Structure 1
Amino acid sequence: MKKYRCCFAFVLSVFLTLLAVESSKAQQKPIPTDTTYNVGRVHQQIHKAYPEAVPASDSMYSSIRAARDIVYATIEKTPFGKRELHLDIFRPKDNQKYPAVIMVHGGGWRSGTRSMQVPMAQMLATRGFVTIPIEYQLSLEAQYPAAVHNLKAGIRFIRENAEKYGIDTSRIAISGCSAGGQLAALVGLTNGVQQFEGDQGITGIHSNVHAIIDIDGVVDFLAPASLNLIRKPDAADVAWLGGTFEEKPAIWKNASPIFWAAERTAVPMLFLNSGFSRFHAGQDELIGMMKEWGICTEVHQFNVKVHPFWLFHPWVDGTIDYMNEFLKKVLK
């Protein structure tokens, strides 16, 4: 009889454990998503004015190989349960070590996916780079500075696993488009600033980068061209920063890359601009500072009224050319 009681107790324990797990899953909310920013929709919007625009596609070239959906950090507790963050890696097929480029997608800190960086990553990998489109938490899931902590964790992961993926850790760059450009600039200009590191993923090593590429991303939320925009209450920057400038002035300044630029830590920067000047708010002042410090900067403009020009041929081709030439020059 004692044997049966022990068996029953074990079965009951297992049943209650499974019930608790299922109950916990049921209480977890799905991560909210915003799919309004996507290549197809942008193409529809610009096709009439720019019939030559052709979306760049996910195309594996014969000279490169890929590792996809790699978990670079796990956040154990969020309002949506355990959260894994992913990245993809593209690199030449040989066994040499190459410079790495972390690639950050745009979408107003609210929408978009790392898949939108994949065509660029594949094209740049054929030029002799390890390219890394990276996922980060968007504003519907987590507000500023969560995305910065994510990206710094991604860089630490790459440093820790450099041998595995054939990466030269003395030559790591970060690039980003639109909101991703702002994030890339902030991550790069806060080299060594502990408050932005966070505690996600691998810790104990630094997340410094050696070059920044900002593609149509604002560097100063407080510059008139940015601050004076007429915004709706649910504007992308307001949602990400947790309030308007009047409500959260310190956060708006804190999230502006230009305020973290310093002579001893700044690294070379490339700016690639569309024909919309508002996305370049604060850029001229930052470039002036960098020139005074003797730090390399380059600016190239695509004279088209297409903000996400990097998503389409023929402009993505020039984008990759500029990125390649700049990186080969500054990551010697």
Structure 2
Amino acid sequence: MNKKNHAFVIFLVSVLTGFGLSAQAQFIKGTTVPADTTFNVPRVYRQIKNNYPQAVPAKDSIPAGVIADRDLVYAHLPETSFGPRDLHVDLFRPEKAGKYPALILVHGGGWRAGDKSLQVPMAQMIAQKGFVAVAVEYQLSLEAKYPAAVHNIKAAIRWLRANADEFNIDPDFIAISGCSAGGQLAALVGMTNGVNQFEGSMGNNGQSSAVQAVIDIDGVLDFMAPLSLNLDRRPDSPDVQWLEGDFYTRPDRWKEASPIFWLNENSVPVLFLNSGFPRFTAGQYEMISMMERWGIYHELHKFDVQIHPFWLFHPWVDETVTYMVEFMRKVSQD
């Protein structure tokens, strides 16, 4: 990139993100796409360590018996507002030959911040338990608004099926999990199995993007629930930015992006994992009531801890992985 173009991109980033012009602009690695780096493990750790001295950040460390394939390209985007770029996954799989159920993991960050590295420690732990675990990159709101992220993730699932033999994946069982904003995305992807409007056109369209189970970790299920609508809806609120308007200006999007409105009698099993903050699970009890009526298998477990991203730290990530693995073993064998 020449100096003139680079200066323009820094200016654009400052406008989009609120960075001052004197600040050093940050970009997604290998791109000119602006990056919001405010959600990260060190920052959260500084916020919680005094109240939770037992907290230990989960580390990126490949366990014995696990193969790591990093930064695999699952889609190429030839045209974006910031130029062409690729989307990637980090894939972890058991070293032993065989076919394994797969789990795609979607990071949180208010649809604006974070990256796939946040899900890597959990993915590595899950792979050691006998699954293919895939941390996925997707377009955040500084780059592309709703529903781009949904199209990205469904494309990643199709890519996994297209490459199932290479990565020892059982194509008949691919589940999806997500944390916070990633939980909302995982639930929306899972509840819209077979709904064409969410597919996008990013490759491998001969493959199915359907998932066989959903794990929602502190992710909102109903943007129109009182717990969501009664919060201060400033123009810079993450959901308002992602959905390009508040409920009063874009009620269509607020409803369409709510996983609960796509739930039906044929929906897949769901595992709900909650922190001690009810506002992150808006719509959950209503959704569970509907699932009970339709006889859809579900589980709910709560962590008695006032940490929203509890999954980023030991000892809670260990229990989180246990719940996830036990759930996937049950539903993949039914």
| TM, length-normalised to structure 1 | 0.91
Which amino acid is the alignment partner of residue 288 of structure 1? S
CA distance in 1: counterparts of 2:85 and 2:104, whole angstroms? 20
Inter-CA distance 313–82: structure 2 relative to 1 (3 Å threshold): same
Q: Answer whether contact 1:28 1:81 (CA < 8 A) is retained.
A: no
2:181 to 179, 182, 185: 179
Query: Aligned partners of 1:75, 1:198: CA distance in 2, in Å?
Result: 12
**Cα distance in 2, alignment partners of residues 231 and 51 from structure 1:** 33
- Residue 88 of structure 1 aligns to which amino acid in structure 2? D
Residue 27 of structure 1: how far off its partner (Å): 9.9
Amino acid at match of 1:289: M
Residue number among 35, 38, 63 corresponding to 2:37 in the alignment: 35
The normalised TM-score by structure 2 is 0.91
Separation of aligned partners in 1, 2:114 and 2:46 = 16
Q: Aligned pair 1:115/2:120, yes or no?
A: no
Structure 1 residue matching 2:33: 3-state secondary structure: coil
2:254 equivalent in structure 1: 252
Structure 1 pair 296/146, CA: closer, same or farther in 2 (3 Å)?
A: same
Q: Which residue of 2 aligns with 1:7?
A: none
Aligned partner (choices 133, 155, 158) of residue 156 of structure 1: 158
Asked if structure 2 preserves the Cα contact closer than 8 Å seen for 1:28 and 1:79, the reply is: no
Q: Percent identity?
A: 61
Return the offset for 1:201: 2.4
Q: What is aligned with 1:283?
A: 284
2:324 corresponds to 1:314: no
Could you say what the CA RMSD is over the residues aligned between the two structures, in angstroms? Answer: 1.5
Gap runs ≥5 in structure 2: 10-31
Q: Is the 8 A contact 1:174 1:212 kept in 2?
A: yes
Partner of 2:236: 234
Structure 1: gaps of 5 or more residues: 1-20
Q: Distance in 1 between matches of 2:232 and 2:241?
A: 15
Q: Secondary structure at the match of 1:162?
A: coil
> Partners of 1:202 and 1:170 in 2: how far apart?
16
For the 8 Å contact 1:73–1:202, the answer to whether it is kept is: no
Distance in 2 between the 1:206 and 1:321 partners? 28
Amino acid in the other structure paired with 1:75: L
Per-residue deviation, 1:63:
1.2
* Partner in structure 2 of residue 16 of structure 1: none
Contact persistence 1:268–1:330 (CA under 8 A): yes
1:19-98 equivalence runs, <5 A: 29=9, 30-98=32-100
- Matched-pair contact (CA < 8 Å) for 1:99–1:331: yes
C-alpha distance in structure 2 between counterparts of 1:145 and 1:222, whole Å: 17
Q: Which has the larger radius of gyration?
A: 1
SS in 2 for 1:80: coil
2:170 to 168, 171, 179: 168
SS of the equivalent of 2:280 reads: helix
The 5 A counterparts of 1:141-152 are 141-152=143-154
User: Aligned in 2, Cα 1:120/1:159: closer, same or farther, shift over 3 Å?
Assistant: same
Return the match for 2:136 from 126, 134, 137: 134
Cα deviation, 1:272-327, whole Å, max 9, x if unaligned, reads 00000001110001111111111101000001000000000000000000001111
